[in-house]
A and B are shown apart, each in its own frame.
Chain A
Amino acid sequence: MAERNGLEGKLMTVEQAVARFVRDGSQIAVGGFTINRNPMALVYEIARRRVRDLHLVVHSNGQALDVLVGAGCVGRLEIAYGGNGRFAPTCFRFRKAVERGEFLVEDYTNNQMTLRFLAGALGVPFIPSKSGLGTDVLAREGFPPDVRGRDGVAPHKAHLMADPFDHGEDQVALLPALTPDVALLHAQQVSTDGTVRIRGLTFADLEQCKAATTVVVTCEEIVPASFLKLEPDRNSLPPFLVDAVVPVTYGAHPTACPYFYDYDPAHLNLYKAAAKDDDQWPVYLEEWVYGVESWDAYLDKVGGAQLARIRANTVAGYAPGLDRR
């Protein structure tokens, strides 16, 4: 594409993006939500590189979280929800790892995590919220004192105060801002100048990307900048916030990428059976993550017919009538 020059220095492979931007101990915000638009190609590469001690900061995460946890990549986790809807009311590797005390967990809520990213994006150190007053979400700290106050961990989980504008009649909880090292995102389209267009729901992806030091975007397709500029109202992120652009077809599989493909019920069921079982889990990792030679090989394993079944109707955005049992 003639206009691709605008991506000079940004266009790279999954391997290059992870090698350059994701390090042991990095604080990572993961895009998407449970079974929708998880940056799975990046996640698999992080797992393959055996990155360790990641500090994940997420709201409701499902597949990406569970693979990273199950592959031993996570050291700290700030999270609102670890589940995959009907496929995993609680993510299986996440559940086992927490029960075994394999890493540190700090619980927040979806609204709280979203506000914390928004605060990071806006450059304010904290943000008030009325979620969770009187609950253990605010009362109980999951991270021990010795990890607090450094390495991107706030000295306190939250701080309660009276509303200074109403003579103290109202209570709010102040929440610390988040400024992750890296935000990982899978989007439908990135233009030849690096503009990002997300279709469907944006979750907290925009806040996460704007709060992060580095933004890595995988995408289904690269399209001419002139095309995205025809309807700038529909664009999601400007080129100057994007550090790496990686075209990866089906890059969110087995989670959905609206208007391109649905979530893959067959794979999520296969995943569930493996993730529940400590003996089967390493087999899954070897077969679907470590032992996969290339993204083409991964898609071949999923199979052409299955990829056709989950292909989204371009009007509805999902695959109508898909057998989701």
Chain B
Amino acid sequence: MADTPERATDASGTTDAAPSPPAYTAREMMAIAAGRFIADGDVLFAGTGVAMLAATVAKRIHAPHAHIFFETGGIGPQLDELPMAVADPRVMAYADLNAGLVEAFSYVANRRLHTIAFLGAAQIDRYGNMNSTVIGDYDHPTVRFSGSGGACDAGSLASGFIVFMQHGTRKFVEKLDYLTTPGWLEGGESRRHAGYRRGGPLAVVTNLCVLRFRKDTKAMYLAERFPGVTVEEIVANTGFVLDVEGAGVAKPPTAEELRILRDDVDPQRLILG
């Protein structure tokens, strides 16, 4: 599964990020900020947790003609209820079609489609490479996570991917303990030289900000901080030297975006917390 350890249930980002009305939580801001990356008509590959929320929000608000699919084989479901895992039967209800993993990955990798994956991980580095396997030595890990699931596949094969992370120095690290999902690898042209024809991370959405990657070096930079969050706070929570040149401020969620997210997408607050 293209999910991340911890993130799905991590409640540390749910404090209010801004005093200005309407009040909203960091997780709500994350879901809405990520949804804004989606263009109408895109084909979206969603993992579990906030990723699923963002894909659902994108479809309801920003991109009604986007198509959501899941690696389990649920292709274009209606998503009347929020799934809690990519194998939740809610990813198959009233779908375009139901199949299996071979079919799902043939859409992830399909050359005709512009597929965007929503992923997460335990660690990320400045080039958007991610770890969802272990903390510590691989042979004797101090912490074991779920493993790749489909995250490495989506990172390898999709047209691009968007990452969700809680911001913190243990998550934004200089060096990954294990490289599960390929980002821009060592930056520059290294991803292409490794044998990839397309893809790579487009943005990282955290509880504090939106980060993107410079066109030439492929290094991460601060694109937009969320309202009420300072640049210093973001830098202090990043375990590598972060490029903050030219950073702007994200537009806060509108009342309508929040209403759809809360009332239609996750009324039981299964993922919003």
Contacts and interface: CB of A to CB of B under 8 A. Distances in A.
Interface of A: 32-36, 59-60, 62, 79-87, 89-91, 94-95, 98-99, 101, 107-112, 114, 118, 130-137, 139-140, 142, 170-172, 200-207, 256, 258, 262-263, 312, 316-318, 320, 323-325
Contacts of A110: 1, 71, 101, 105, 148-150, 153
B90 interface: yes
26 contacts: A34-B87, A35-B85, A81-B149, A83-B146, A85-B48, A86-B48, A87-B84, A89-B49, A90-B145, A107-B147, A109-B149, A112-B153, A130-B109, A131-B152, A133-B195, A134-B195, A136-B178, A137-B148, A137-B180, A140-B138, A142-B138, A202-B100, A203-B101, A204-B101, A316-B80, A316-B93
A81 B100 CA distance: 16
B214 to A, nearest CB: 20
B46 interface: no
B7 interface: yes
Interface in B182-213: 182, 185, 190-191, 194-197
Interface string B147-168: 1111111001100000000000
Given A107-B133, A203-B100, A135 B182 contact: yes
Contacts of A34: 1, 85-87
Contacts of A85: 1, 3, 8, 48, 83-88
B35 interface: no
Interface residues of B, number: 71
B147 A318 contact: no
Contacts of A324: 84, 268, 270
B146 A82 contact: yes
Nearest to B120: A89
B258 interface: no
Contacts of A111: 101, 105, 108, 150, 153, 157
Nearest to B85: A85
A225 B146 CA distance: 40
Interface in B17-50: 48-49
Interface SS, A side: loop
Given A130-B195, A136-B178, A140-B138, A203 B73 contact: yes
A324 B269 CA distance: 10
A258 B83 CA distance: 13
A202 B195 contact: no
Contacts of B145: 89-90, 95
Interface in B107-161: 108-109, 129, 133, 138-153, 156-157
A318 B81 CA distance: 10
Q: Which of B8, B102, B141 has the most CB of A within 10 A?
A: B102
A324 B267 CA distance: 11
B9 A89 contact: yes
Given A99-B141, A135-B179, A316-B93, A201 B195 contact: no
B13 interface: no
B89 A132 contact: no
